A and B are shown apart, each in its own frame.
Chain A
Amino acid sequence: MNVPSEHLFFLSAGLFSLGVLGFLVRRNVIVTLMCVELMLNAANLAFLAASRMHSTPEALDVQGPVFSIFVITVAAAEAAVGLALVIALYRLKQSVESDSASEMKG
C-alpha cells in the first residue's frame, strides 16, 4: 500500500482546521489547550509528509523528522506550563471556563 504524500498533507490540514475550530468554539480552557496540541500534531504530520516527499530511496531528508521531535518536546513543555497556570487560576476562581477569566476589560 502506498499512500501519496499529498493525502497526508490533506489530513494534516484537516487536523489543523479542527484544532483552530475547537479553539474558537470551546470555552473550557483544558479543551482549548488540547486543541492547541492538535494543531501542533497537525504540523508534525505535515513535517513528516514533507520529509517523505523530499526523500529519495537513497537519501532520507532528516530535517522534517528532527523538527517534529523537537515540536513534540515543545508541545510537552507548553502543556506543562499551560496546565500549571490553569490550576493556579482554578484555585482562585473554582472554574476552568474561559468566561470566568474576564476581570480585565476595555
Chain B
Amino acid sequence: MNAYLEGLRGLQPEIVMTITALAALVFDLLLKGRESRRVGYLTLAGLAFTAWFLLGQWGDSAPRTVFGMVAIDQFGNFFKLFTVAALAMVVLFVMHDQREREHGVGEYYFLLLGAAIGVFFMVSTNNLLLMVLGFELLSLASYSLAGFHKGDRKSAEAAMKYVIFGGLATGIMLYGMSLLYGLTGTIDLAKMGVEGGGLVTQLAKSPVPVGIAMVLILAGFAYKVSVAPFHFWTPDVYEGAPTPVTTFLAVASKAAGFGVMLRFLGAIFLRPGVADSVAAYGERIGLLLAILAAITMTLGNFAALRQTSLKRMLAYSSIAHAGYVLIGVACMTEQGFGAALYYLAAYYFMNLGAFGFLLYFEGVNGNDSVESLKGMGFKAPLISCVMVAFLVSLTGLPPTVGFYGKYLLFVEGVNQGLYWLVVVAALNSVVSLFYYLRVAKALFLAKPAEREAAPAPVLTGFVTALGVATVALGIYVLPLVAWAQRSLDVLRG
C-alpha cells in the first residue's frame, strides 16, 4: 500500500495535468463556448501547479521506476518542464491571437493538455508500450489541433496530410518494435543491451535483423522531429495549422520527439553495463544519424531560401534545426546528448519568440508573407528589434543562446571525429543567414510603411521577455549548461 502511494507521488505532475485537462473540458461545456478566455486562465493555473510539482521532483536525484513502467528521473523532468513552459506560452498565444476570437476555442486547451500528457509519458519511460501510448496520445491530439479550423481549406488539408503520414510513421515504428521484441524477448529498453540481454545474443548471431528493427523504429521518431526523409509533411502542416498550434508542433512536439529518441538510444546503447558489441553497434547507428543530419539541414536551409511566407520559412527552418540537434544525437556520447539538450532549450527561446512575432504580424497584416512586413519595423519597433535578436540567434551568431548551442554541438562533433558533418553544418549556418536576414531587411531597410500596427502590449511583453532571455542566456550560459548536464542522469545508471 505504501509503495503504491509512493508511486502515485511520483506521478503527481501527470495527475495534475490530467485533472486540469478534464476540468478545462467541463468548464468549457459549462461556459457554453462564451468567454473561453477563462478556460485559458484555468489551464495556466493547472500548468503552474504542474510546474511546481516538477520543480519539487527536481531536487530528489535518485532515478526510480514506479508501477514498473514510468521512470522518474531528471531526463524526463527536463522534457516535462520544457513542455509545460512551451505549453504556457502557446496558451498565451491562443489567448492573444487576433484571429482566434471567432472560433470556439475551449477544446483547444483540452487538446493541448492532452498532447502534453502524451509527451509526459513518452519521455519518461523505458518501456516500449508506454512509449507508444504517449507517442500516440501526442499524435492524435496534434492531428485534431492541426485541423482545428474546420471551415478553413488549408487547415483541413494540413490535418489530413498530418494524419495520413502520421499513421504511416506509427505503422512503421510499431512494426519495428514488434521485430525488436521478437529479437530480444523484452519490451524493456534497459534490459536489452546489458550483458546477457537479448540484443547481445542477437548481435552475435546476425546484426541484420537488429538493423532493420532499429531503422524502422528510428523512422517513427524521425517523423516526429521532421528529419529527412520523413520531413515532407512539415511545411504543409505548419503552414495550414493555426499559428499557435504550429508553435506547439514546432517547439513542444519536436522536443518531445528528440526526448524519446535520446531516451531510446541512451537506454539501449549508452547505459553503464552495456555490452561492448552493443556499444559498437550504437556507433554505427550514430553514423547513420550523422548522414541524416547532414541531409536534413541542407534540405531545410535550401528550401527555406525560396519561401515567400514567413510561416513556411519558419517550418523549413525548424527542419534545419532538427538537423543541427541531430549532430549531438549522432555523437552517441554523454556530451553529445548534453549539447542536444542545450540546443533544444535554446531552440525553445528563439523559436517561440519568432512564432510570437509571426502571430502578432498575422494579426496586423492579415497574412504571413515576408513582403507584408516591409517597413513595419518602424511601426512596431520593440517587437521588431526583438525579432532581429531571434533571427541572429537562429542563425547562430553571438551573443545569443543559439550561438552557444551550436558551439557545443560543433565541439562535440569535432571531438567525435565527425569533421565533415561540422563543416556541412557551418556552411549551412551561412546559408541560413540569407533567409533570416531577409526578414530583418524587410522590417528595417525599407521605407516606413503607411499602415499602422495595432499595439498588443501583453503579447509584445512576453515576446520581449523571450528576447531578453535569448540574449542574456547567450552571455551567461552556465545555468542552461548545468541543467542540460544534470538531466543526463539516465546515462549514468
Contacts and interface: CB of A to CB of B under 8 A. Distances in A.
Interface of A: 9, 12, 16, 19-20, 23, 29, 32-33, 36, 39-40, 42-44, 46-47, 49-50, 53-54, 61, 63-64, 66-67, 70-71, 74, 77-78, 81-82, 85-86, 88-89, 91-93, 98, 101-104, 106
Interface in B171-205: 171-172, 174-175, 177-179, 181-182, 185-187
Interface of B: 128-129, 132-133, 136, 139-140, 143-144, 147, 150-151, 153-154, 156-161, 163-164, 167-168, 170-172, 174-175, 177-179, 181-182, 185-187, 235-236, 239-240, 303, 306-307, 312
A102 B186 CA distance: 43
A40 B174 contact: yes
B132 A103 contact: no
Given A36-B164, A67-B177, A103-B153, 9 more contacts: A39-B174, A42-B175, A63-B181, A71-B132, A81-B163, A82-B167, A85-B144, A103-B157, A104-B240
B157 A89 contact: yes
A30 B185 CA distance: 35
Contacts of A40: 170-171, 174
Contact of B235 (A91, A101, A106): A106
Contacts of B307: 106
Most chain A Cβ neighbours within 10 Å, of B139, B150, B154, B157 = B157
Most chain B Cβ neighbours within 10 Å, of A9, A29, A67 = A67
A103 B235 CA distance: 12
B330 to A, nearest CB: 26
Nearest to A77: B140
B306 A67 contact: no
B182 A43 contact: no
Main SS class of interface, B: helix
12 contacts: A32-B164, A39-B168, A39-B175, A43-B177, A50-B181, A67-B128, A71-B132, A82-B167, A85-B147, A92-B151, A98-B164, A101-B161
Contacts of B306: 106
Contacts of A88: 147, 150, 156, 159-160
Given A63-B181, A92-B156, A43 B167 contact: no
**Which 9 residue pairs are nearest across A and B when measured between Cβ atoms?**
A39-B171, A50-B182, A46-B178, A36-B167, A43-B174, A43-B175, A54-B185, A101-B157, A43-B178
Contacts of B154: 103-104
A48 to B, nearest CB: 9
A44 B177 CA distance: 10
Contacts of B171: 16, 19-20, 36, 39-40, 42-43
B129 A66 contact: yes
Contact of A29 (B140, B160, B235): B160
A85 B136 contact: no
Contact of A67 (B179, B181, B185): B181
Nearest to A64: B181
B187 A63 contact: yes
B312 A106 contact: yes
A29 B165 CA distance: 11
